[in-house]
Amino acid sequence: MTKTDLIDGLAGEANLTKVFAKACIDYALGTVADALARGEPVHLAGFGNFDLRLKEARTGKTFGRAFDRPAHHVVRFRAAKALAERLPAPTPDAAA
């Protein structure tokens, strides 16, 4: 699914113009991004939680050359129980 698919779905489901649906999606995603930028976790009941995790600085290696990777934050998402229950069961070949 792309952002455009999400906008089209919202516009159709809520009988909104695509321009207004895009503004709604942009506002919602911007609000989530702003909260994470302030270091605040985001809890969306029935969907999941977003929070920041600090990845420590480390030395990596690519094509035989070492490089330093500075510490940085990554966004972690954990699905809520209601969302997790809607997901398909893993298949045996999915671990490959």
Question: For 20-72, what is each residue's pLDDT tens digit?
Answer: 999 999 999 999 999 999 999 999 999 999 999 999 999 988 898 999 999 99
pLDDT at 91 over 90: no
- Alpha-carbon distance 16 to 45, whole Å? 24
Q: What is the pLDDT of residue 71?
A: 95
Tell me the whole-structure pTM to 2 decimals: 0.78
Q: What is the pLDDT of residue 68?
A: 92
